Structure 1
Amino acid sequence: MTRLSVNINKVATLRNARGGDVPNLLQVALDCERFGAQGITVHPRPDERHIRYQDVRDLAPRLTTEFNIEGNPTPQFLELVYEVQPTQVTLVPDAPDALTSNAGWSVEPHFDFLCQVISNLKHRGIRSSIFVGTEPDNIRWAARTGTDRIELYTEPYAATYPNDPALAVADYIEAAELARQLGLGINAGHDLSLDNLTYLCQSLPQLDEVSIGHALISEALYLGLEETIRRYRQCLI
């Protein structure tokens, strides 16, 4: 079964809009776990406009499911993940001012750098995942780095899905099959929602994990957090 990791960045965005501690990020994370989430994802950025570095430190000792920290592996980011020792680190090539993650790694030009980062994560017992698109040669380069998993960037799938689901998923099926042949675990994330998740998971039985934040938190405004997580879990069966 594909596991659900809930990205709580948007909860932090709401908190930061007014200052203070409402909503309480730690309590939301613990409630997500209690409601059935199998992991918690955060993506701290250098300007801390949503998740703050201290949030990561506060969450790490309290979570009981998998903790996934996403981010560009800058020295500051790596110091943080070495300190808190999450289950997984997802390496994302974000520019400091990126509104959201909008592309995966082009692995070959960054190969030596990624190899060193992944080696350091492995030495500390932290699972690594590289955020990539579906291009086959790029996935082959990712496998050569020694990474444990890749995370497939699913915005193109989500954009095409309403008009042509089969076309939307075709490249992802090929990418997932190749990744499995290369011994990689497979995660997916970006713009996944209750509308498009079931079809993706049915088409990609190899998926280990999906990380979902924006749509899930938005849908919870109408459905409630517990019911929303229940529905996402149903999509993954």
Structure 2
Amino acid sequence: MTKLSVNVNKIATLRNARGANYPDVVKVASDIQEYGAEGITIHPRPDERHIRYQDAFDLKEIVTTEFNIEGNPIPKFIDLVLKVKPTQVTLVPDAVNAITSNAGWDTITHQSFLKEVITEFKQNGIRTSIFIDTNLKLMEAAATTGADRIELYTENYASQFSLGNKEVVEPYIKSANLATELGLGINAGHDLNLENIQFFAKSIPNLKEVSIGHALITESLYLGLENVINMYKYKLSLANN
């Protein structure tokens, strides 16, 4: 059974917009676990525009499933991960000013750097995963870094699937098969949603975990909006009686 890890970055974005602690990221993460998610993911960025570094420490206290911290392994990020010691760290090569992740690692060019970082994390008992595209040579290089898993970057799959192109999953299947041969566990994430997740999960062999944030939170707004509007109308009707 593929595990669902929910990225709570968008909850932090909403909180930060008003400068208070509402919604409470820790409370929401706790509720998400109670609702059945098997993991909590955060992706702190250097400017802390959504998840703050303190959130990582606060969430560590309440995450009872799996805690996954994503990010570019700059010194500040490495220091955070080593202090928090999450279940998993996912290494993502996003630029400082990136709005969202937009590419996987070049595991050939950055192989020695990744080896060094991954060795340090693994010595501290933290499972490591590399965010990567469906390039088989890069997959082979990823296996030499000592990583435990790879996370398939699924933006292209999602965009093409929405156009009716189901054949787009083929490179992901080949990548997953090779990863398994190389002894790597398989995660996936980016733009997966309710429309495309079933086909992807059914197609990809040995898929251990998906990390979903933006789509899941957006879909939750729509799937819960009618109910909340009617709850407000009910409260107002009581006040007017």
Structure-2-length-normalised TM-score: 0.92
Deviations 1:165-220 (A, max 9, x none): 43220100000000000000000000000000000001013100000000000011
Which ranges in structure 2 are unaligned for 5 or more consecutive residues? Answer: 226-241
Aligned residue in 2 for 1:5:
5
Aligned residue in 1 for 2:236:
none
Deviations 1:133-152 (A, max 9, x none): 00000000000101000000
AA matched with 1:14: L
Aligned residue in 2 for 1:119:
119
- Count how many residue pairs are aligned between Structure 1 and Structure 2: 225
CA deviation after TM superposition for structure 1 residue 79, in Å:
0.5
Q: Percent identity among equivalent residues?
A: 60
Aligned residue in 1 for 2:70:
70
Aligned residue in 1 for 2:177:
177
CA deviation after TM superposition for structure 1 residue 163, in Å:
2.6
Aligned residue in 1 for 2:193:
193
- Which secondary structure state, in structure 2, belongs to the residue aligned with residue 108 of structure 1? coil
Aligned residue in 2 for 1:221:
221
- Which secondary structure state, in structure 2, belongs to the residue aligned with residue 107 of structure 1? coil
Aligned residue in 2 for 1:34:
34
CA RMSD, Structure 1 to Structure 2 (Å): 1.0
How many angstroms apart in 2 are the aligned matches of 1:135 and 1:44? Answer: 27
How many angstroms apart in 2 are the aligned matches of 1:72 and 1:120? Answer: 15
AA matched with 1:34: E
How many angstroms apart in 1 are the aligned matches of 2:50 and 2:197? Answer: 25
AA matched with 2:43: H
How many angstroms apart in 2 are the aligned matches of 1:33 and 1:224? Answer: 18
How many angstroms apart in 2 are the aligned matches of 1:21 and 1:164? Answer: 41
Instruction: State how 1:20-99 maps to structure 2 within 5 Å.
Output: 20-99=20-99
How many angstroms apart in 2 are the aligned matches of 1:75 and 1:94? Answer: 14
Aligned residue in 1 for 2:211:
211
AA matched with 2:51: I
How many angstroms apart in 2 are the aligned matches of 1:168 and 1:224? Answer: 31
Structure-1-length-normalised TM-score: 0.93
- Which secondary structure state, in structure 1, belongs to the residue aligned with residue 207 of structure 2? coil
Aligned residue in 2 for 1:230:
none
AA matched with 2:69: I
How many angstroms apart in 1 are the aligned matches of 2:12 and 2:37? Answer: 18
AA matched with 1:210: V
AA matched with 2:103: A
Contact 2:177-2:205 within 8 A present in 1 as well:
no
Max Rg structure: 2
Contact 2:41-2:69 within 8 A present in 1 as well:
yes
CA deviation after TM superposition for structure 1 residue 223, in Å:
1.9
Aligned residue in 2 for 1:107:
107
CA deviation after TM superposition for structure 1 residue 224, in Å:
3.6
- Which secondary structure state, in structure 2, belongs to the residue aligned with residue 33 of structure 1? helix
CA deviation after TM superposition for structure 1 residue 162, in Å:
2.2
Structure with bigger RCO (C-alpha 8 Å, 6+ apart): 1
- Which secondary structure state, in structure 2, belongs to the residue aligned with residue 20 of structure 1? coil
AA matched with 2:80: L
- Which secondary structure state, in structure 1, belongs to the residue aligned with residue 110 of structure 2? helix
Contact 2:160-2:166 within 8 A present in 1 as well:
no
Say which is worse superposed, 165-174 or 20-29, in terms of deviation. Answer: 165-174
CA deviation after TM superposition for structure 1 residue 62, in Å:
1.4
Q: Which runs of 4+ in 1 moved over 6 A?
A: none
- Which secondary structure state, in structure 2, belongs to the residue aligned with residue 18 of structure 1? coil
